[in-house]
Amino acid sequence: MLTVVPIPAFNDNYIWMLQRQGTRRVVVVDPGQAEPVLKQLQAQQLELEAILVTHHHQDHVGGIKALLDFAPVPVYGPDNPVIDSITQPLREGSSVTVLDETFQVLEVPGHTLDHIAYFSDSATQPLLLCGDSLFSAGCGRLFEGSAEQMFTSLSKYTGLSPETQVYPTHEYTLANLNFAMAVEPDNLALHEYQSWCIKLRETGQPTLPTTIAREMAINPFLRSSEPSVTKGVAKHFAMPLADPVSVFRQTRLWKDQF
Ligand SMILES: [Zn+2]
């Protein structure tokens, strides 16, 4: 088993730290800052085994060099020369074994063109490290890719086991939920989840990880085929929407303006 804990960074980033239970071996995901990670490593005398990267944005890669000064470990990430510290470039279908756990690599362009995700199909604990592609109740902004690309990327997630634990890299849940409620005001699961997340945030706890099952029940960006989402988005733009990709495109556009 792996334990996974968030190391808060910047205003609302989480650097997820995976640890093999019963050992001091850890891996960190998207270390945008080195200091909070180094603090954890030193306080608990942990051994950094590798760094995983999902995409090239500075708040995900900015701490890598300083971590490598501390421990020269392999750096897994997208096959994108812009991230010059990557030692193990990955593609769709690549697999990565860290902490004795094997992760499959999914290419999920949209937020950026180089974005990848890591999925471990362990029978006891399937988990998805999705970076900025998926958030709880939201998805990444389309900085580089098209709505079609992002729709296809997110479709890879909806086919994963419903119990998969999902680890996005930002605490955006409450703001995303306000938007999701505007799209689907009658979604009861959304109301219940919002109340729960408000309680968590009031006591300073993360709303993450989430699960694929929960996101499929509440995340408008995974629900483009639901009549209630189509209805909400079509009403907002006062235009008919013929297919799920069009619904997704307009939902993303609406959120950008929300
Ligand atoms: Zn990003």
Distance CA(222)–CA(210), nearest Å, equals 14
Which pLDDT value is given to residue 189?
A: 98
Given the residues 30, 114, 115, 170, the one annotated as active site: 170
Which pLDDT value is given to residue 124?
A: 80
Which pLDDT value is given to residue 52?
A: 98
Assess whether pLDDT exceeds 90 at residue 94.
yes
> Cα 111–113–119 angle (5° rounding)?
75
With beta carbons less than 8 A apart as the criterion, state whether 243 and 167 touch.
no
- Banded pLDDT at 122 (limits 50, 70, 90): confident
Distance CA(130)–CA(109), nearest Å, equals 11
Cα of 111 from ligand 1 centre, angstroms: 7
Average pLDDT, the chain: 97
111 is catalytic: yes
Q: What's this model's pTM, rounded to 2 decimal places? A: 0.97
132 is catalytic: yes
191 is catalytic: no
Mean pLDDT of 196-209: 98
- Banded pLDDT at 49 (limits 50, 70, 90): very high
Cα of 191 from ligand 1 centre, angstroms: 28
For 153, the enclosing helix (H) or strand (E) is: helix 147-158
Distance CA(64)–CA(48), nearest Å, equals 12
